[in-house]
């Protein structure tokens, strides 16, 4: 499958006003070293909107930051919706900018999934509908701040999700045999070493700390699957559906883990 992770759908911190570091809240936990309220700048955010500890987030207690991706929403809001004028330059826009960011991030995530679905030859029967949905969501992202905060995201998501489900069915059907589903399954800490999960529907599955060493996860649907601390060492993820970089960043793996084209092997994985 061709690489569908386009630059416009990847976070570009150099062209963003640090929106995820300000708009989003976090609580002191294993993922974050401190508490932070929504709208409060992270203590590590510099004047140039860059992170002061970017290269040592994990060792500084900010692991949660390493598993987040705005899918390009940050630069869209910063440079397009608000025309390159930051919340520091125009404090009166801060609240609205952060509200728009919440909406834009969800829309960009949908664009990411729709773009991938269109790159799947097996989903050709729904390509026309996928193109229509992509155009509608792209149009929404180009709206004004006032228009964006009024977007009914749950309705947009439901419309897109119908097509993503159909895409998943068509792609996984190429595996042959009876379709397997573990959608939403509680697999926390489960020993799935060497499991043959090829073509399985793992949407929303809880795979936290699961042992997936050497498992066959090729052509599985992983949309919304929680892979925090899951061991993917030696696992085969080629062709996995709707996998995102943050999911990989949250998991563990090694040099033998087989990744789909276009993904980066997380720096914390073992060699």
Architecture of domain 178-271: 3 Solenoid (2.160)
C-alpha–C-alpha distance, residues 144 and 114, integer Å: 23
Residue 36: pLDDT band with limits 50, 70, 90: very high
Average pLDDT for 71-79: 97
- pTM listed for this prediction: 0.93
Number of H helices, E strands in the chain: 6, 0
Task: Give the model's pLDDT for residue 187.
Answer: 98
Q: 108: closest CA among 144, 69, 78, 79?
A: 69
Q: Let me know if 10 is exposed, middle or buried by CB neighbors in 10 A (0-12, 13-18, 19+).
A: middle
Q: Check pLDDT > 90 for residue 8.
A: no
H or E segment at 204?
none
Average pLDDT for 118-126: 97
Tens digits of residue pLDDT in 124-180: 999 999 999 999 999 999 999 999 999 999 999 999 999 999 999 999 999 998 889
C-alpha–C-alpha distance, residues 96 and 133, integer Å: 26
Average pLDDT for 60-70: 92
C-alpha–C-alpha distance, residues 208 and 127, integer Å: 33
Per-domain residue ranges for the chain? 7-172, 178-271
Tens digits of residue pLDDT in 184-207: 999 999 999 999 999 999 999 999
Task: Give the model's pLDDT for residue 1.
Answer: 43
Helical H segments across 11-144, by residue range: 73-75, 94-118, 127-141
C-alpha–C-alpha distance, residues 115 and 131, integer Å: 9
């Amino acid at each position: 499958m061709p690489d569908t992770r386009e630059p416009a759908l990847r976070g570009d911190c150099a062209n963003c006003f640090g929106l995820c570091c300000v708009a989003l809240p976090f609580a002191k936990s294993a993922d974050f070293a401190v508490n932070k309220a929504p709208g409060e700048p992270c203590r590590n955010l510099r004047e140039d909107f860059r992170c002061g500890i970017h290269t040592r987030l994990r060792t500084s207690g900010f692991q949660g930051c390493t598993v987040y991706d705005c899918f390009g929403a940050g630069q869209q809001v910063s440079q397009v919706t608000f025309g390159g004028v930051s919340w520091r330059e125009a404090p009166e826009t801060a609240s609205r900018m952060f509200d728009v960011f919440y909406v834009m991030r969800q829309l960009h995530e949908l664009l990411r999934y729709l773009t991938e679905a269109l790159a799947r030859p097996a989903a050709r029967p729904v390509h026309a509908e996928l193109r229509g949905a992509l155009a509608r969501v792209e149009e929404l992202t180009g709206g004004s701040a006032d228009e964006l905060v009024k977007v009914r995201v749950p309705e947009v998501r439901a419309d897109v999700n119908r097509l993503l489900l159909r895409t998943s069915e068509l792609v996984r059907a190429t595996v042959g045999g009876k379709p397997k589903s573990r959608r939403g399954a509680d697999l926390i800490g489960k020993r799935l070493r060497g499991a043959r999960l090829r073509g399985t529907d793992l949407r929303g599955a809880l795979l936290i700390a699961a042992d997936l060493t050497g498992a066959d996860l090729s052509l599985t649907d992983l949309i919304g699957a929680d892979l925090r601390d899951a061991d993917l060492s030696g696992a085969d993820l080629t062709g996995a559906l709707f996998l995102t970089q943050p999911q990989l960043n949250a998991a563990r793996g090694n040099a033998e883990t087989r990744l789909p084209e276009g993904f980066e092997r997380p720096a914390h994985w073992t060699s």
